[in-house]
Amino acid sequence: MKIFNRRILKPIRQELRNNPTQAEAFLWGYLKHSQLRDKKFRRQASIGSYIVDFYCPSEKLVVELDGEVHFDEEAQKYDAKRTKYLENLGLKVIRFENQEVIYNLDKVLKEISKHFK
C-alpha cells in the first residue's frame, strides 16, 4: 500500500497549498528550493491518511505548525495519535506554534537544523 502522497488526498493537499496560514507561507519562504542547509522539503505532503505541513524525506523529518485550533483537548488528542502514527513509521515530528514562526524565525530554523544528520 502506498503511504506517501496518496492520489485520493491530492485535492486536499492542493487546497492546503493554495491557502496556507500566514506562518506556513512565511516558513515555506525559507524552506523551499533547498534553502535550509541544502535539504529538500515538501509542503502539505500526505503520509498515510494524514497531511503534514512540511516533510523532509532525506531526514525523515516532519515539521508541524500549530495555530489556535490545536490548543483544545480534542485537537491535542488527535495530534498525539497522528504523531504516534508518524513516529511508528520512523519519522521525527517537531512542532512549532504559528506565533513562534512569525516572531522568532531564526530560533525555529536552528531547531529544525538540529534534527539533520
For the chain, domain boundaries: 7-114
Q: What is the CATH number of domain 7-114?
A: 3.40.960.10
Q: Supply the mean pLDDT for the chain.
A: 94
Residue 35 CA to residue 37 CA, distance in Å, equals: 6
- The percentage of the chain sitting over the pLDDT mark of 90, rounded to a whole number, equals 87
**Does 68 score more than 80 pLDDT?**
no
Indicate whether this model's pTM tops 0.75: yes
| pLDDT confidence bin for 70, thresholds 50/70/90 | low
Q: Is 7 exposed, middle or buried (0-12, 13-18, 19+ CB in 10 A)?
A: exposed
Neighbours of 108 (CB within 10 A): 22
**Does 67 score more than 90 pLDDT?**
no
- Of 3-7, 29-33, 108-112, least confident by mean pLDDT is 3-7
